[in-house]
Chain A
Amino acid sequence: MPAVSKGDGMRGLAVFISDIRNCKSKEAEIKRINKELANIRSKFKGDKALDGYSKKKYVCKLLFIFLLGHDIDFGHMEAVNLLSSNKYTEKQIGYLFISVLVNSNSELIRLINNAIKNDLASRNPTFMCLALHCIANVGSREMGEAFAADIPRILVAGDSMDSVKQSAALCLLRLYKASPDLVPMGEWTARVVHLLNDQHMGVVTAAVSLITCLCKKNPDDFKTCISLAVSRLSRIVSSASTDLQDYTYYFVPAPWLSVKLLRLLQCYPPPEDAAVKGRLVECLETVLNKAQEPPKSKKVQHSNAKNAILFETISLIIHYDSEPNLLVRACNQLGQFLQHRETNLRYLALESMCTLASSEFSHEAVKTHIDTVINALKTERDVSVRQRAADLLYAMCDRSNAKQIVSEMLRYLETADYAIREEIVLKVAILAEKYAVDYSWYVDTILNLIRIAGDYVSEEVWYRVLQIVTNRDDVQGYAAKTVFEALQAPACHENMVKVGGYILGEFGNLIAGDPRSSPPVQFSLLHSKFHLCSVATRALLLSTYIKFINLFPETKATIQGVLRAGSQLRNADVELQQRAVEYLTLSSVASTDVLATVLEEMPPFPERESSILAKLKRKKGPGAASALDDGRRDPSSNDINGGVEPTPSTVSTPSPSADLLGLRAAPPPAAPPASAGAGNLLVDVFDGPAAQPSLGPTPEEAFLSESWERWGRGMRTGAHPGHPVPLPLPPRFVCKNNGVLFENQLLQIGVKSEFRQNLGRMYLFYGNKTSVQFQNFSPTVVHPGDLQTHILSGLGQPPTKRVAAQVDGGAQVQQVLNIECLRDFLTPPLLSVRFRYGGAPQALTLKLPVTINKFFQPTEMAAQDFFQRWKQLSLPQQEAQKIFKANHPMDAEVTKAKLLGFGSALLDNVDPNPENFVGAGIIQTKALQVGCLLRLEPNAQAQMYRLTLRTSKESVSRHLCELLAQQF
């Protein structure tokens, strides 16, 4: 390729540049530039036609001035003129100017495009390359629109020169990245793949880049590239170090091309063809072998290039994750690098090993390097390498080494860089929870965490320890003892005070027997921290105090004194003031029993994915999920570590734990609502908008209900049952009239119902599963739309009065509903149940099992009648049809029972195919009657059903079809 040769050096330009460089000040430079601009302008405007050389020179000067940061508003025309020159240097400067200073002046763009077109068609490879480079460098959508269709043709044309093909491939890649929609896929794609076989290594390199990008969108179109890439790779890997001439870099044959081929293979799963796979495995082994051979050169460039290939090879091995032998070899190789004197290699080895740790085949092999990695964590001078070491420790952790790793990470935390402390804290917290063998170790670890790096312990972490302690009886006493000891430190972190306050408030009684931690001692210890803490912590401590009054009546007088103090009762902070006032009143007004109920121990938290894990995932982005998700290598995570297991639940059966507090009416898999903000742990637990503190005189009822919420709010949340989304109706109730409609840990609702014509009667049974009385128990029926229902008093103790209805612990109450269907309807009426449990308001809304098919009147008829009516209902809107896959085993008897339960009559000997079911019935409503015919055709072979419904009303056809289809 001709360069700007020294003799062609445009003296005027050199002089101008050295003038500029000699300028003493900015002003002098501007003056010199203005003079030059005036000169160029006059030359361009002059009558005398400029020759190509002068034009080139002046355009160059303009370009230089532009690069110095000055605006250029003329000369574009001259540059465009240069494009049509036949001299390389002139054309080149023209293209350079266009690439740098292109503007969307439409007149010029037309001219430029024209010049590019001419050059592309010129068959002069140098000119074609210049034009292609210009298209790629501008890379705009307009350029794409003008040329995207031509370039593939040039790329695969048999007579294109190598350099042109190379440029065309890269140009196409650029256009494809900028606007993928403009590049037409077509038969050329198959031929592009064959460029991998090209003689010219530059063409192959460019083609690999292009194919790697294209195949991500259309993997199947480029699948043939696998075998070609493997054979090309194999030829390179096995070539002698000098075979490839220009493409040999310090005795390494084509290192960058090898890397690219290996990367291309990572777009696909392992080759299916055994021969191809065998050849590839051979290549990978060769690369691993070469790493052990003595280097062919002492130069660092040689080993760098070799290692580049080696790392990419290991990436591919990890990507396939199917060759245990290779994985272990890769791990050993990386193990050698862990102690290499080059920091870069240590860094990369730690990084690659992190991904190896998540493979079941190499996890054990990675673990053997634990001491080296711990040493790296302690001694590496580079923070980014230490960070990688910490990541690797996290990835290789399992039950066998958790204690060692956690303690090393805790030690590292004391000296860790501030930037990564929070992440380390999260990791320690997760490992401690996940691999906890006993809970005292877990509690110790988290408290240590708070002690060492309290500032970096986010809320999620200390919420989590509270959740776990609350849910595990066996650790509560130990936790209370440990926090009590930790709080003895003269200076302890505020997070420690929070955890201590909460735990002692709940479980302080467990250590009260010891005179060293008697109630007054506990209280004075906590209170000694009170004044140093923030408002949120003080609010939490006030809640602890009121709980102390319940736990330890002997502290009542002292605590009331504290609450009564002016600094509390007249606190400037409204939250603290309100708590002080309310708690003081509560402690003096309420009887011991009421107090005990209100201030009872917190119920266990529902288990769900650890929010700490979620936070770490957020921090690391989605890519980190694989390293974190080690479910497959530790499938036996037991109950201790249940927090990381997904909550088992299905939509149809509301999970009991999900509704522990009854505040969360939607089924558990629902996404956290917007009010949960950043997906905070306890917001998640309590769900719902925070209750506003009522500032007016507080009626006792509201007061009681709020005191429990306060606990939550001390931890940034509160709860009010808003308007919950009704729970979906379990589909089985479409065909059944009796059963358990809803059940959680508190409440069970059973239902029994009967229907005749358009009337129905439903018995609802509310069972209190706890030992505590439900207060203000009030179930009401909401009937949206046309379905009017009446609630009549029955024989039992129906809670018809909204106030003061109570359900004793373990008791069951009954409610009777009379139902009348006035017209056809789509959504069932809702049952809304509200009550107070232990002072906390509970609310849930469910759909009553009343669907339109309950008002079915079966009709028997002969085949002839059936077909006559079937034909009468032949308008397209009268028919609804659904074809669906069977969700349950296809048993004719079960199907029959379901259809009968659905309400229609089953007609035998109607359908010529005995496998099919045919039914008929009339839906009875007060306003009208709707005749229904149905036909269900099972296909046992395909495990599919076809369901057809014909009724005289379009909405009824569709609704019945949907209801019935979900039954099979």
Chain B
Amino acid sequence: MIKFFLMVNKQGQTRLSKYYEHVDVNKRTLLETEVIKSCLSRSNEQCSFIEFKDFKLIYRQYAALFIVVGVNDTENEMAIYEFIHNFVEVLDEYFSRVEPINELLKIGSALEPQQACFSPASSFKGAVSAPPIY
């Protein structure tokens, strides 16, 4: 099961976050910092799965953007790994040019990963929360 979905840039700023389990707002910041730290510290040779506390992180890097998904340990790592790519392809298709800030609102309103639903015709709109640009 997916616990959260994060888009974070290389500077460690969260660009998009969606939690599927309740996490306190102040704890989210802490969690996101730790998550991106552990992703940034990895090299290309390393696998894309990180055991993190009591769950697993699955991440992919697209240029300066990291997409990180937190899952519990019954989840299929490979399926999530490829789901991330599918998600990015959909973003690419939907907006010819994916740029985090300008499109923030649009992404938020139009495209949000569906909870545990992997259909390309993603239509589950939802909340987006991102910190200030600074």
Contact = CB atoms under 8 A, between A and B. Distances in A.
Interface of A: 1, 3-4, 17, 21, 26, 29, 60, 63-64, 67-69, 92-93, 95-96, 99-100, 129-130, 133, 136-137, 163, 166-167, 170, 173-174, 201-202, 205-206, 209, 246-247, 249, 255-257, 259-260, 263, 301, 304-305, 307-308, 311-312, 315, 343-344, 346-348, 381-385, 621, 623
24 contacts: A1-B121, A3-B94, A21-B101, A29-B134, A67-B108, A69-B132, A96-B108, A99-B126, A100-B127, A100-B129, A166-B123, A202-B117, A209-B116, A255-B82, A259-B76, A259-B79, A301-B85, A304-B82, A308-B82, A311-B78, A344-B78, A344-B81, A348-B49, A385-B46
B47 interface: yes
A133 B110 contact: no
Contacts, number: 148
B133 interface: yes
A691 B20 CA distance: 52
A95 B127 CA distance: 9
B117 A382 contact: no
B132 A68 contact: yes
A256 B117 CA distance: 8
A301 B118 contact: no
Nearest to A262: B76
B69 to A, nearest CB: 13
B86 interface: yes
A513 B119 CA distance: 79
A136 B126 contact: yes
Contact of B119 (A64, A201, A315, A621): A201
Q: Which 10 A-B pairs give the minimum distances between C-beta atoms?
A: A256-B118, A308-B78, A308-B79, A69-B132, A382-B46, A347-B47, A343-B47, A304-B82, A137-B126, A99-B127
Given A344-B48, A621-B54, 19 more contacts: A21-B133, A67-B105, A69-B131, A69-B132, A92-B109, A137-B127, A202-B119, A205-B117, A206-B117, A256-B83, A259-B76, A259-B79, A304-B78, A308-B76, A308-B79, A311-B78, A343-B47, A344-B81, A348-B49
B79 A256 contact: yes
A800 to B, nearest CB: 61
Contact of A129 (B50, B116, B123, B127): B123
Interface of B: 43, 45-51, 54, 73-74, 76-79, 81-83, 85-86, 94, 101-102, 104-106, 108-110, 114-121, 123-134
Contacts of A4: 106, 109-110
A99 B127 CA distance: 6
Contacts of A209: 115-117
Nearest to A132: B124
A344 B56 CA distance: 14
Contacts of A260: 118
B110 A247 contact: no
A383 B109 CA distance: 40
Nearest to A25: B134
- Residue with the highest number of chain B CB atoms closer than 10 Å, among A99, A312, A381: A99
A174 B2 CA distance: 12
Contacts of B110: 3-4
A133 B105 contact: no
A64 B51 contact: no
A2 to B, nearest CB: 9
A346 B48 CA distance: 11
Contacts of B134: 26, 29
B26 to A, nearest CB: 14
B6 to A, nearest CB: 16
A255 B119 CA distance: 10
A206 B83 CA distance: 15
A68 B101 CA distance: 11
B125 A312 contact: no
Nearest to A256: B118
Contacts of A21: 101, 133
Contacts of B114: 170
Contacts of B105: 60, 63-64, 67
Contact of B86 (A69, A249, A348): A249
A96 B125 CA distance: 8
A21 B51 CA distance: 37
A263 B76 contact: yes
A247 B123 CA distance: 15
Contact of A623 (B51, B73, B85): B73
Contact of B45 (A26, A202, A257, A382): A382
A875 B112 CA distance: 71
- Residue with the highest number of chain A CB atoms closer than 10 Å, among B43, B78, B106: B78
A173 B78 contact: no
B117 A255 contact: no
Contacts of B43: 381
- Residue with the highest number of chain B CB atoms closer than 10 Å, among A17, A136, A308: A308
Nearest to A381: B45
